[in-house]
Amino acid sequence: MSIHLLLHNLLYAFTVLLSISVILLIFFKAKNSVEKTTLILAFIFAIIFVVSHVLGVSVANGELSRRILMFNLVNLFLPVLTSHFVFSFIGKLKEQKYVIISAYIVSISLLIFFLLNPHYFLATSVLKMYFPNYYVAGPYYFLMLIYFFLLVVYAFVVMRKAYVVSDSINKNRIKYFSIALFLAYLFGSIDFLLIYNIQIDPLWGFLFVPLFTIPFTYAIIHYELMDIRVIAKKAFVYIVISAVIGFILVFLDYINNLIIKSSPGFPNWASSVILALITSIGLLFIWRRIRETDFLKYEFIDVITHKFRTPLTAIKWSSESLMESAPEGIREEISHIQKSANSLVDLTNLLANLSVADEKTFGYNFVKLDLGNLIKNLISESSEKIKAKDITLLPLSYSSIFVLADEQKIKFVFQTLLDNAISYTKQGGRISFETSVLNKEKVTVKITDTGIGIGEEEIKHIFTKFYRTESSKKADTEGMGIGLYLTQKIVEKHGGKTWVKSEGNSKGSSFFVSLPILKD
């Protein structure tokens, strides 16, 4: 196989890989079922086309090549699937119903016609450019091209009309999607030129999927193109980055081969070293960009929380001094202000913690700490809340157990677990704290309650950021689902572990925190 043909085939293989990633992404994450099905089918057909194209133009026998290239007939369905997707995407499905139905009928009729008369579609392949065998159009091959062209142009016209009357977000969605589609079809059509003996290298045709994916990804990220969730977006960006790196490697390898061939005196390790260097620089750049966005995120939350704190403290102080001199009638109102200001302060503190939760041990101040004593103090601080709910707290034997910990953060951990136990336990329930020591190495604190419990399906998500169980949403409408996430992060930073057990809904729960004991 000539190097040129090999490169052609490799680049098409890369296109297939990229298409598979897009299919997986859409399959698992997109929500609208019409858009999902049409786009996935379009990509599958594109893959069938690419595979048959690569095989068909590489085989040595002209008749075998023709038979393989007959799979080109899948192209009859690309424009109709694209239009179907487009009409659903811009909300014109009902309006364009008859166009879509007619288009499917035309596609199927043409397919049947060409299957019954294959030689009208393609004649025996012949040598063209560097391909041992390339398409030779049959007398009616042009029908597919005209149909293809007309339908795609029609889809663009409808999109253009929708664009004019859309709001700015939808304008951007349509804009990027049209660019993606335009590039895909423009480059995808290059393959057809050589069919009619126009000597343009069909190699450029492989760009149709990558060029489609880039604006498509951009629109997904910035304009919620497919209603895809944030995590999926990140995953998709990584897939595209890896695919682009793969593409660069193939390309550089090709250049490497060319250099070695054209200048035999050139040391053959040199290009590999340059290749490795370029790849490392590329990866480093991407890694730094990813870190940078994380830092920006933390910085953003940090600035917000600090800017919040000052005015909040002012509200707290002013309301406290107001309270002292206020007449009886408005005291209740002022106490509402105080309560709300306090919740906002708590919330700000939580956000501040959240911003550093993923950082290594940034902001941690480790000191020797008596864990038993800390829990004892916490319980006594919460005694009013416990009494108010008529909860029985089983006594804990307060032996001194020393750990190396950040006092504020570890206090936050046990405060969260205790507050949750109180919030999610009904009037008259029971809560217990137990500590156990394993081999003088680890201490495990177990907090058990007789509250609402956690369902089997929900328990694995309990430490996830912002996650709340269905029954907890009814029991306490104020919760945010941040406390346990932070708890786990903080305990991990202390070299410990957190886990939970529950028999199920309404059967109570036990939360566990284990920490390494400080050795003398």
Site residues (vs ligand ADP, CB under 6 A): 416, 420-421, 424, 449, 451-454, 462, 467-469, 472, 479-485, 509
CB of 469 to ligand ADP, least distance (A): 3
What residue number has its CB nearest to ligand ADP? 479
CB of 364 to ligand ADP, least distance (A): 20
**Cβ-based nearer residue to ligand ADP, 186 or 345:** 345
CB of 500 to ligand ADP, least distance (A): 8
Look at strands 509-516 and 442-449 and give their pairing: antiparallel
CB of 408 to ligand ADP, least distance (A): 17
**Cβ-based nearer residue to ligand ADP, 120 or 467:** 467
Cα angle, residue 465 at apex, residues 459 and 471 outer, rounded to 5°: 45
134 is written with which tokens? 């390339």
Amino acid at 370: D
CB of 413 to ligand ADP, least distance (A): 11
Question: How many CA atoms, within 13 angstroms, populate the side-chain half-sphere of residue 212?
Answer: 22
299 phi and psi angles, rounded to 5 deg: -60, -40
447 within 8 A of 422, measured Cβ to Cβ: no
CB of 492 to ligand ADP, least distance (A): 15
**Cβ-based nearer residue to ligand ADP, 252 or 500:** 500
CB of 257 to ligand ADP, least distance (A): 56
Question: In Å, what is the CA distance from 459 to each residue of 414, 456, 468?
Answer: 19, 6, 10
H or E stretch covering 270? helix 268-325
The rounded distance, in Å, linking the Cα atoms of 81 and 181 is 12
391 phi and psi angles, rounded to 5 deg: -95, 140
**Cβ-based nearer residue to ligand ADP, 126 or 393:** 393
**Cβ-based nearer residue to ligand ADP, 384 or 478:** 478
Which among 478, 465, 488 has a CA at the least distance from the CA of 409?
A: 488
**Cβ-based nearer residue to ligand ADP, 226 or 418:** 418
**Cβ-based nearer residue to ligand ADP, 107 or 416:** 416
Spatial neighbors of 221 by CB under 8 A, at least 6 apart, are 233, 237
Question: How many CA atoms, within 13 angstroms, populate the side-chain half-sphere of residue 194?
Answer: 22
Amino acid at 477: T
CB of 472 to ligand ADP, least distance (A): 3
**Cβ-based nearer residue to ligand ADP, 332 or 478:** 478
CB of 484 to ligand ADP, least distance (A): 3
The rounded distance, in Å, linking the Cα atoms of 290 and 281 is 14
Q: What's the per-residue H, E or C state across 121-187?
A: HEEEEEEECCEEEEEEECCCHHHHHHHHHHHHHHHHHHHHHHHHCCCHHHHHHHHHHHHHHHHHHHH
Spatial neighbors of 370 by CB under 8 A, at least 6 apart, are 400, 401, 402
Question: In Å, what is the CA distance from 422 to each residue of 203, 459, 489, 507?
Answer: 67, 19, 22, 15
The rounded distance, in Å, linking the Cα atoms of 68 and 361 is 60
**Cβ-based nearer residue to ligand ADP, 92 or 389:** 389
Question: How many CA atoms, within 13 angstroms, populate the side-chain half-sphere of residue 98?
Answer: 1
Q: Is 98 exposed, middle or buried (0-12, 13-18, 19+ CB in 10 A)?
A: exposed
**Cβ-based nearer residue to ligand ADP, 406 or 449:** 449
236 within 8 A of 228, measured Cβ to Cβ: yes
For the packed helices 3-29 and 230-262, what is the interaxial angle rounded to 10 degrees? 180
CB of 450 to ligand ADP, least distance (A): 10
487 within 8 A of 412, measured Cβ to Cβ: yes
**Cβ-based nearer residue to ligand ADP, 67 or 446:** 446
**Cβ-based nearer residue to ligand ADP, 122 or 452:** 452
Look at strands 497-502 and 509-516 and give their pairing: antiparallel
**Cβ-based nearer residue to ligand ADP, 94 or 474:** 474
The rounded distance, in Å, linking the Cα atoms of 416 and 479 is 11
CB of 454 to ligand ADP, least distance (A): 5
